């Protein structure tokens, strides 16, 4: 982060400054992460209030604080009406001081992988700033932006949402030079009610974009295929598009395809599993094209791509192969994970599946659909979670051996006892299920 004066920050967010001026060199909202020179912003949420920790922030060495009321402390204070809104304003003002191109990525599935692939593709020519982990909401994105410094020459920011209006606010914050929508699925349909509403919410990405800025869209996604936009760029696998994939080949080590763009045909090799990754790569190559980077250069950058966090990490443990995909789950990503299980499993294929959250009225049917698909891709289906019982039930009805467990602990114990050398096991559920607990416990049991 560039050093900023408290006086300039107060002016940028329309706050009232109490106390003298001072420079700050970082921003945080958690007193456990305060360091010398930090601006502590007291955010108020449903279950917490950062104002309860303002005194502690001052004692721990914060250079200044931003609050919604005045405190009797020795460090400068910036008093604002709403600290959450002021944090967004601060990040937007700070970002505007950098003359770098910004890419924004949203969509129902594949946002993070696409973000990382874009960073890899354009990283051939740029030093890319991006979100870490899932810092993609109105707190995480400002936190990300406030770590930007002069070493970076481009930015790729993922934007997440649960409700209408959120993407609009985030887009206005970053003012993207290029926008990307990966697809329109049913993630978060519980809050938005329909895929039409999800589509409308994702299209809010345009709210912060100049009308002449390119918008990268998935031509295979039902709602996106018909979007009429002045500078739309489409990518796809099954339909004609500006960037198309053909000759897709999967292997134990990754997926390869030929990218067709106009008269150019470029071989692309991705060191990650799953045909769904082809879509993410095509989006990245399309973005690279907006930056004047050739398909060949983008392909070279993508060859160094790797999954992050809990996404489709493949690990070999003794004679077992574990596919750890515990970050999030929707029907589409469940199917993608099951496809990988089918493609790399050489002996017995075991699917350990849990609840898909935030699907609202679509939840029961979505879990049944996954159960049917699991029966085609797995030899054994093990589930835990209230909703996941429907997965094992439907998988069993379609001929698979399927078992449901009341707890993760009981599932883990059963899994340990039935595993044998050569088995391939997929672990997949929504983040709230914390399926990494099963993986960690299993590894300890196996030793």
Distance between CA atoms of residues 321 and 80, nearest Å: 53
**Token pair for 12:** 């940028």
Which tens digits make up the pLDDT trace of 360-393? 888 999 999 999 999 999 999 999 999 999 999 9
DSSP-based three-state secondary structure for 296: helix
- Tell me if 383 sits within 8 A of 354, measured CB to CB: yes
Looking at residue 24, its pLDDT comes to 96
Contacts of 201 (CB under 8 A, 6+ apart): 161, 163, 164, 165, 166, 167, 192
Backbone angles phi, psi at 338, to 5 degrees: -65, -35
Across the range 3-21, mean pLDDT stands at 96
Helix (H) or strand (E) holding 5: strand 4-5
Question: Vertex 192, ends 190 and 198: CA angle to 5°?
Answer: 120
How would you classify the pairing of strands 243-250 and 255-261? antiparallel
Please identify which residue in the block is written with the tokens 């429907």.
390
**Token pair for 235:** 């990518």
Distance between CA atoms of residues 360 and 140, nearest Å: 25
Please identify which residue in the block is written with the tokens 């990405």.
205
Looking at residue 225, its pLDDT comes to 93
Give which of 262, 246, 118, 254 is closest to 182, Cα–Cα: 118
The least confident of 121-125, 198-202, 205-209, 272-276 is: 272-276
Number of H helices, E strands in the chain: 15, 22
Greatest CA separation found in the chain? 72
Give the pLDDT band of residue 344 (cuts 50, 70, 90).
Answer: confident
Looking at residue 447, its pLDDT comes to 62
Helix runs in 194-330, H state only: 195-202, 276-290, 295-302
Looking at residue 134, its pLDDT comes to 81
The answer, yes or no, to whether residue 94 has pLDDT greater than 90, is yes
Burial class (CB in 10 A: 0-12, 13-18, 19+), 425: buried
The answer, yes or no, to whether residue 272 has pLDDT greater than 90, is no
Helix runs in 65-184, H state only: 83-96, 111-122, 140-145, 166-174
Neighbours of 424 (CB within 10 A): 24
Distance between CA atoms of residues 180 and 162, nearest Å: 18
Helix 331-344 / helix 276-290 crossing angle, nearest 10 deg: 110
The least confident of 66-70, 153-157, 314-318, 407-411 is: 314-318
Helix (H) or strand (E) holding 6: helix 6-13
Q: Which residue has the higher pLDDT, 445 or 381?
A: 381
Q: Which residue has the higher pLDDT, 106 or 358?
A: 106
The answer, yes or no, to whether residue 446 has pLDDT greater than 80, is no
- Tell me if 59 sits within 8 A of 40, measured CB to CB: no
**Token pair for 59:** 């004692």
The answer, yes or no, to whether residue 133 has pLDDT greater than 90, is no
**Token pair for 254:** 């990754």
Distance between CA atoms of residues 429 and 353, nearest Å: 6
Contacts of 179 (CB under 8 A, 6+ apart): 103, 104, 105, 106, 171, 205, 206, 209, 213, 214, 215, 216
Looking at residue 443, its pLDDT comes to 86
Which tens digits make up the pLDDT trace of 389-434? 999 999 999 999 999 999 999 999 999 899 999 999 999 999 889 9
DSSP-based three-state secondary structure for 243: strand
The answer, yes or no, to whether residue 310 has pLDDT greater than 60, is no
């Amino acid at each position: 982060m560039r050093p900023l004066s408290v006086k300039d920050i107060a002016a940028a967010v329309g706050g009232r400054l109490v106390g003298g001026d001072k420079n700050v060199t970082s921003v945080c909202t958690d007193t456990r992460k305060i360091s010398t020179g930090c601006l502590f912003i007291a955010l108020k949420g449903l279950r917490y209030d950062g104002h309860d920790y303002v005194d502690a922030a001052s004692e721990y060495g914060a250079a200044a604080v931003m609050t919604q009321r005045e405190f009797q402390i020795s460090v400068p204070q910036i008093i604002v009406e709403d600290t959450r809104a002021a944090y967004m304003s601060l990040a937007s003002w700070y970002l505007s001081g950098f003359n770098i191109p910004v890419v924004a990525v949203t969509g129902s599935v594949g946002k993070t992988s696409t973000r990382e692939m874009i960073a890899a593709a354009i990283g051939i020519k740029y030093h890319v700033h991006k979100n870490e982990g899932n810092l993609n909401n109105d707190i995480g994105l400002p936190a990300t932006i406030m770590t930007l410094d002069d070493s970076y020459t481009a930015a790729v920011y993922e934007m997440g949402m649960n409700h209408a209006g959120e993407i609009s606010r985030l887009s206005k914050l970053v003012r993207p030079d290029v926008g990307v929508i990966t697809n329109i699925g049913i993630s978060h349909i519980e809050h938005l009610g329909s895929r039409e509403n999800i589509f409308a919410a994702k299209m809010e990405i345009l709210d912060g974009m100049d009308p002449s800025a390119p918008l990268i869209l998935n031509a295979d996604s039902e709602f996106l295929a018909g979007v009429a936009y002045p500078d739309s760029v489409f990518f796809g696998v099954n339909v004609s598009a500006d960037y198309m994939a053909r000759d897709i080949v999967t292997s134990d080590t990754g997926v390869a395809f030929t990218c067709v763009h106009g008269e150019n045909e470029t071989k692309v090799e991705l060191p990650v599993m799953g045909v769904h990754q082809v879509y993410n790569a095509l989006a990245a190559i399309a973005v690279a094209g907006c930056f004047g980077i050739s398909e060949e250069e983008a392909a070279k950058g993508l060859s160094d791509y790797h999954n992050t966090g809990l996404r489709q990490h493949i690990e070999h443990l003794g004679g077992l192969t574990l596919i750890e995909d515990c970050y999030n789950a929707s029907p589409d990503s469940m199917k993608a994970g099951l496809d990988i299980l089918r493609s790399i499993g050489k002996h017995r294929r075991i699917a350990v599946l849990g609840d898909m959250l935030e699907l609202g009225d679509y939840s029961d049917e979505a879990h049944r659909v996954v159960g049917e698909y699991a029966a085609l891709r797995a030899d054994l289906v093990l589930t835990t979670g209230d909703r996941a019982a429907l997965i094992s039930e439907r998988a069993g009805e379609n001929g698979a051996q399927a078992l449901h467990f009341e707890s993760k602990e009981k599932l883990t114990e059963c899994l340990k006892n039935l595993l044998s050398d050569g088995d391939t096991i997929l672990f997949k559920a929504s983040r709230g299920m914390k399926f990494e607990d099963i993986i960690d416990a299993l590894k300890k049991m196996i030793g």
